[in-house]
Amino acid sequence: MPTALYPRIQAALLCSDVTDKLAATEVIHAAWQRGELQREDAPLTRLPMAGHPERPELVHATKVPRRRPGSPQGQPAMLHAIAHIEFNAVNLALDAAWRFREMPDDFVSDWLRIAAEEAGHFRLLQGRLQQLGYSYGDFPAHNGLWEICHVTDHDVLVRMALVPRVLEARGLDASPELQRKLANIGDEASVAILDIILRDEIGHVQVGNHWFHHLCRQRALEPMATFSRLLAEYDLTAHRGSYNIDARRQAGFSEAELQWLQQAKD
């Protein structure tokens, strides 16, 4: 007999133990795929904070030390920063599946799959850090990803516009330069991990693009005008550097959108 979905997701969201959160996320995704979980009427509350471990210390983004990849701690610090993004991405995906109850089952399936894939990314990075003699929590980190999750929790269209299409898409843009820096210090193992993450993140941004455009059609909104308005309203820029045009194209950005992004940056 199917069991309730939303309490399971909420428990995973609030879990502060990294190992338990990852395991719970993967179990929920597998159980949903098997049809063992059922959506039900359940209380929906604002979560001021998702569960996270005592370490890493969370500081303002400007207080996170910047280290060169070739410096003694630069390489692990870079990988730690990426691992922290993936940990937050698990919470973001779980929250999307848990929060937006008006969305169809396909939406839940997409975001539970993404949560499980983000958990897999974190495991890869955690393992690489351990090979280098470090662990998740050894460096300070910031909480910017969860903060944007919090301010977009009132509207699924805003969430789809600003999290996958801005924050996660920035990861597509940043990946080639990160890989270049790691390759320059001979860290081919980490480059290979980032290949896996980039491949999957293209799919995650594609999911966000799909649902953003679906919601725009549903609400009779023009997508680019809506996206531009939301960027201004939330004081965000699509990206501050060069775009990974090929990855964005694979992730479902149209040629018109790519041209608009380039012009908006210029």
The model's confidence at residue 45, banded by pLDDT at 50, 70 and 90, is: confident
- Average pLDDT value for residue range 125-147: 91
Q: Is residue 61 situated within a structural domain?
A: no
pLDDT cut 90: percent of the chain above it: 75
Domains in the chain, number: 1
Ranges 57-66, 101-110, 131-140, 187-196: which has the least confidence: 57-66
Q: Is residue 47 situated within a structural domain?
A: no
Which pLDDT score is estimated for 160?
98
| 3-state class (DSSP) for residue 186 | coil
- Average pLDDT value for residue range 35-63: 83
129 vs 148: which has the higher pLDDT: 129
Which pLDDT score is estimated for 63?
64
Domain enclosing residue 244, as ranges: 72-264
CA–CA distance from 181 to each of 47, 154, 167, 222 (Å)? 37, 38, 21, 39
Q: Is residue 160 situated within a structural domain?
A: yes
| Of residues 55, 56, 74, the one with CA closest to residue 65 | 74
The model's confidence at residue 34, banded by pLDDT at 50, 70 and 90, is: very high
| 3-state class (DSSP) for residue 37 | strand
Q: Is residue 57 situated within a structural domain?
A: no
Q: Is residue 91 situated within a structural domain?
A: yes
Which pLDDT score is estimated for 202?
98
The model's confidence at residue 58, banded by pLDDT at 50, 70 and 90, is: confident
pLDDT at residue 71 greater than cutoff 70: yes
Which pLDDT score is estimated for 171?
93
Which pLDDT score is estimated for 266?
57
| Contacts of 59 by beta carbon, 8 Å cutoff, 6+ apart | 140, 141, 142
| 3-state class (DSSP) for residue 243 | coil
CATH number for the domain that contains residue 88:
1.20.1260
User: What are phi and psi for residue 4, nearest 5 degrees?
Assistant: -70, 135
User: What are phi and psi for residue 44, nearest 5 degrees?
Assistant: -120, 120
Which pLDDT score is estimated for 224?
93
For residues 198 and 169, is the Cβ–Cβ distance under 8 A?
no
Q: Is residue 1 situated within a structural domain?
A: no
